[in-house]
Amino acid sequence: MDLALWIVAGLMAVVCLTGSAKMFVPREKLAVMGGTATQWVGDFHPGALKAIGAVELLAAAGLILPAALGVAPVLVPLAATGLVLLFAGALTTRLRRGERATTAGDVVYLALALFLAWGRFGPESFTG
């Protein structure tokens, strides 16, 4: 179980690091980079996109570094819980925009974040 949680944490960290590009790439370029999957960025202010990118960057660090370094490992399930909220918001945004065809990724990431939060708060807690 611990190995599965580490694999999911690594995968989610990579996803978040990729998503943190929102901090550096202009909104107009983001909108055309991913085709229909990134059209949602047009609905957000550039500052909001930078904030989302910063949250993703912090989540990537929070999923790996505390446990790997043994410093405040309780931050891992908190970071996973934050990702649950982030991906729930992403799913809500896509559904409100009527982009049902592009929700599969968000549903998978949401499920992985839920699994990680549950696993690190419960049976494979670093603090137990």
Give the C-alpha separation, 37 to 2, whole Å: 33
What tens digit of pLDDT does each residue of 4-50 get? 999 999 999 999 999 888 999 888 888 888 777 788 888 899 999 99
What is the pTM for the complete model shown?
Answer: 0.89
- Does the pLDDT of residue 128 top 60, yes or no? no
Token look-up 């989540």 returns: 59
* Gap between the terminal Cα atoms of the chain: 15
Tell me the DSSP string of 38-49: GGGGGGS-HHHH
Residue 98: both structure tokens together: 């009527």
76, 9 contact by CB (below 8 A): yes
pLDDT reading at 127 higher than 70: no
* CA gap 45, 6 in Å, rounded: 34
Residue scoring higher pLDDT (115 or 128)? 115
